[in-house]
Amino acid sequence: MRIDLSPTSWGRVIVVTVVGTAICIGAAFFVDSFNFPHLSPEALWHAQLTDLFLPLVLAGSFFFFLMFKMRQLAIAQKELSIVAATDSLTAVFNRGAFSMLVEAYLDQARSQAVVNAGAFLIVDADHFKTINDRLGHDCGDQALKLIAKTIQDQLRGADIVGRIGGEEFAVFLPGADPSQSWLVAEGIRRRIREVEFAPGGRPCPLSVSIGGIAFSGPTTYADMFRVADEHLYKAKSNGRDQVSFETTGLRGPAVGDAATVH
């Protein structure tokens, strides 16, 4: 059985406490061993007990307290890093954390550590200003939470979603092929359209427009964002509540082929 020695684990506290205490006991016996030949049997017995129990109590307490505090600090740092990477309203990644994770994947793809393919989506809530103006910002916040939760429900385990603007979300689908990416984008659009949102008993239909790009081959975060944003603008211009999608670097459809669905 493998012991968890991560900074936040109890295994690390116990192992360091035991090993540190054992080293201190060994050091005490080694230093005192030069006096052992000159001691009577009774004095030798007392010296050995002292060499055992004094480090056991003092060093054991010290190492346990030290590692316990270090574990608390590691947990606090971990929680702080999660808070720093999370959008406080919707509980998805914030813009900085999202872009960092996507760029990390693209770096791995360039080194051929992962599949150099996937998709990037920008999801924008339609007529969101109207929701805020008509129902208030609290209802607008509830709508954003609902949209974020609906997006998450449509994703696979490895997919990443972040809030990159006021009512704008981005989704990265690592390793997804164009057909999978299209189904995810359309699934997000349909599910948000179907969701029930009636704050204070007043029905308020929600919808989103989605711009996306599926890639196969080297690309950058900036290039994906630019193309997806262009398609988001197309989806908005064509009436909203639709997906505008492009594939690039793929066999079959020509580079730059785009499709739009209502």
* Tokens 């109207």, residue located: 130
- Cβ burial, residue 250 (10 Å; 0-12/13-18/19+): middle
Contact indicator for 236, 209 with CB cutoff of 8 Å: yes
Non-local CB neighbours of 113 within 8 Å, separated by 6+ positions: none
Distances (CA, A) of 104 to 189, 216, 254: 27, 17, 28
Element containing residue 162 per DSSP (H, E): strand 160-163
CA-CA distance, 231 to 241, in Å (whole number)?
13
Q: From the candidates 167, 168, 186, 196, which is the catalytic residue?
A: 167
CA-CA distance, 253 to 198, in Å (whole number)?
42
Structure tokens at 20: 């540190």
Q: Is 79 a catalytic residue?
A: no
The conformation of residue 78, written as its DSSP 8-state character, comes to H
* Enzyme catalytic residues: 167
